[in-house]
Amino acid sequence: MKIGVLGERCGVSTKTIRYYESIDLLDEPERTPTGYRDYGDDAVERLQFIRDAQATGLTLAEISSVLELKGAGERSCAHTTALIEGHLSAIDAQIEQLTAARKELVALAQRGRSLDPSTCTDPNRCQVISEAREQP
């Protein structure tokens, strides 16, 4: 199949397919006598795997490392699991940071609702933020 057909079947652009070839995620296909790329069904499976792996949060470099193991005939489950666990840890850390930020914003919003705007006389700072920072 030609590159456009492959792209349509997998939901990716021809530019993406060419990029994946350039970084060795996708093998460069045979060429027709007229020079067109001629992809087989294996390219569809590979592209679908790449898209599925990206949907889990894996980077192209990480996907490449999984595919390298598979290409060498090795099992990749432990490696893939370790990559996914790394992403889980990063997400957990982000959740903690967002929870702390949310807590601070809730406190500032409550503070803002309780302040009298007429007492705000500083031309360069808002008392909702600046006075909250000065308190222990």
In CATH, what number is assigned to the domain containing residue 13? 1.10.1660.10
Q: Which residues of 70-88 are buried (b: 16+ CB within 10 A; e: fewer)?
A: eeeeeebeebbeebeeeee
Residue 114 lies in a domain: yes
Q: What is the pLDDT of residue 130?
A: 76
Q: Which residues of 36-49 are buried (b: 16+ CB within 10 A; e: fewer)?
A: ebbbeeebeebbee
Decide which of 74, 94, 124 is a domain's last residue.
74
Clarify whether residues 26 and 51 are in a common domain: yes
User: Can you give the residue range of the structural domain that contains 12?
Assistant: 3-74
Q: Cα dihedral angle (10, 46, 51, 25), rounded to 10 degrees?
A: -120
| pTM for the full predicted model | 0.75
Number of H helices, E strands in the chain: 6, 2
One pLDDT digit (tens) per residue for the chain, 136 residues? 999 999 999 999 999 999 999 999 999 899 999 999 999 999 999 999 999 999 999 999 999 999 999 989 999 999 999 999 999 999 999 999 999 999 999 999 999 999 888 888 888 888 888 766 665 5
Domain count, the chain: 2
Residue 118 lies in a domain: yes
